[in-house]
Amino acid sequence: MIAAASLGALIGVLLGLLGGGGSILAVPALVYGAGLSLAAAVPTSLLVVGISSATALLPRLRAGLVQWRIAGIVGGTGAAAAFAGATVNRLLDPRLVMAGFAVLMVVAGARMLRDTDDSGGDCALPGGGVNWRGCLPKSIAAGLTVGFLTGLFGVGGGFLIIPALVLLLGLSMPAAVATSLLIIVINSAAGFAAHAGDATIDYRTAAAFTAAAITGSLAADQIATRLPTRRLQRGFAYLVFAVAAFVALQAIINPLDT
């Protein structure tokens, strides 16, 4: 229980500081830190990430940063794709899932090492307004990709959503972070519904993990604006690389319970 709370606090702090990204560590933390099976860790991760992201979203709602239409499109298509990802998850060997998860973590870490800019795009033109002819297909494609990965690996997808919103759709970083959190809530709810019957969830562990994650996200949100975001992202990327190496090694040498 102490391990679950400690790891949950770490996930919450990362969500509060970066508006996403911490969720990619939730499944490895629950499997290798809290001792859950992969089948139980995936829905538990989605439950924790969804609730924690909703908490981190609240102050950003008050600031009016959420792009509601884009969140609805990306989140809606992602919710449908999450069920497809969950179906594929059930067909794969757990070690193969974790090996794929390690690869995804490396991709996520690499993305966080790359600089982003607020150069504008179809969904946020420099002069204002939205070009929905270009924005709509990009939003749907982003939603389908992130939603499928949410269902397959049990992650909220913020590490993919934020770069997509900034680089592909042209949102500013503050708007992308806020919109990402809402999309994560939607995707996590859909992913949890898709996986809820796969295994019995240890709700005591889930509650400890979630409570710690919420506390961590609220505490981190208070200092997020005073810390250098790029340095945080780079540090987190290297942490992701280290965890990916550990997950890959465990997938090779230790079979997982389904």
82-98 average pLDDT score: 87
- The pLDDT of residue 255 is 60
Q: What are phi and psi of 124, to 5 degrees?
A: -155, 80
Higher-confidence residue: 121 or 146?
Answer: 146
In terms of Cα–Cα distance, which of 145, 50, 81 is closest to 107?
A: 145
Higher-confidence residue: 163 or 51?
Answer: 51
Sorting pLDDT into bands at 50, 70 and 90, what band is 18?
A: low
Residue pair 21/159 in contact by the 8 Å Cβ criterion: yes
- Is residue 93's pLDDT more than 80? yes
CB atoms within 10 A of CB 116: 16
- The pLDDT of residue 123 is 73
Sorting pLDDT into bands at 50, 70 and 90, what band is 88?
A: very high
Kindly report, residue by residue over 23-79, the tens digit of the pLDDT.
Answer: 677 888 888 888 888 888 888 888 888 888 888 788 888 888 888 989 999 999 988
- The pLDDT of residue 140 is 93
- Is residue 20's pLDDT more than 90? no
Q: What are the C-alpha distances in Å from 85 to residues 56, 153, 187, 188?
A: 26, 8, 11, 12
| pTM confidence score | 0.75
Sorting pLDDT into bands at 50, 70 and 90, what band is 122?
A: low
- The pLDDT of residue 72 is 92
Residues β-bridged to residue 124: 121
